[in-house]
Amino acid sequence: MSAKKIKYSVHILLLFLMSGICMSASSATPPADILEPAVPLLSPLEEKSQIFEYILEGRPDPFVPFISEKASTQKLNPDEIIEEDVELTGMRQFEPGQLTLVAVLKTNDNKIAMVEDVTGKGYMLNRGTPIGRHGIVSKITLQQVVVTETAHTRSGKEIKNTIVMRLNKEGEQ
């Protein structure tokens, strides 16, 4: 047999098979569950009682923009210091300017500073003691206490400030 005759006979065979499949598919009846409606039909009275109603109470209005003009046009200062939202306890309740250095005690290798608040109540400071919102006692000498304050701005810049508390000699104010 030649290639043309084989090709021709394959085409005829395919047509014959396809026509048989189409005939059998059209004569078959669909299953009973397909003929039933997917949603049960309601009477006109039942349809009116099931009308959807959007309840706005407790929900945001869907037609109000998420971003208000005030929030989007507000300009933030990049040099503004960001305040930490922490509870201030112990010596963090006092800023260095609210305290007076009254004495410095020297032990073997340690120095302990004694400070007093405006009411006359005394406190002890060691090196590394947090003081105020941003300060830490960085150095204690026999004549002074150095407090280093470190704050961060919105732009991520770190601002350092050094405060020196000097020991007043007798008779000095």
The runs of H, that is alpha helices, within the chain are 3-27, 32-35, 44-49, 69-73
At 121, list the tokens: 């109540």
Query: Is 81 part of a structural domain of the chain?
Result: no
Phi, then psi, of 71 in degrees rounded to 5: -70, -35
Summarised one tens digit per residue, pLDDT across range 52-83 is 777 778 888 778 887 776 655 567 777 788 78
Residue 113, pLDDT above cutoff 90: yes
Domain count along the chain: 1
CA distance 100 to 168: 9
Q: In the chain, which ranges are E strands?
A: 100-106, 111-116, 122-125, 130-131, 135-140, 144-152, 158-166
Query: How high is the mean pLDDT of the chain?
Result: 79
140-152 pLDDT tens trace: 999 999 999 998 8
Q: Is residue 134 part of a domain?
A: yes
Tell me the longest C-alpha to C-alpha distance in the chain: 130
Residue 78 lies in a domain: no
131 DSSP β-pair partners: 135
The 10s digit of each residue's pLDDT in 19-57 is: 766 555 555 555 555 556 556 666 666 666 667 777 778
Residue 12 in 3-state DSSP? helix
- Say how far apart CA 15 and CA 105 lie, in whole Å: 109
Read off the pTM: 0.53
CA 138, 142, 145, 148 torsion-angle sign: negative
Backbone angles phi, psi at 150, to 5 degrees: -125, 120
Distance between CA atoms of residues 164 and 141, nearest Å: 11
In a domain, 57, yes or no: no
CA distances (Å), origin 95, targets 83, 127, 147, 159: 15, 16, 10, 17
Range of the domain at 143: 91-166
Identify the residue with better confidence: 93 or 3. 93
- Report if residue 143 sits inside a domain: yes
Residue 13: inside a domain: no
How far apart CA 114 and CA 99 sit, in angstroms, is: 10
Distance of CA 1 to the CA centre of its chain: 79
Domain for residue 76, yes or no? Answer: no
- Return d(Cα 141, Cα 123) in angstroms, integer: 17
What's 128's domain CATH number?
2.30.30.830
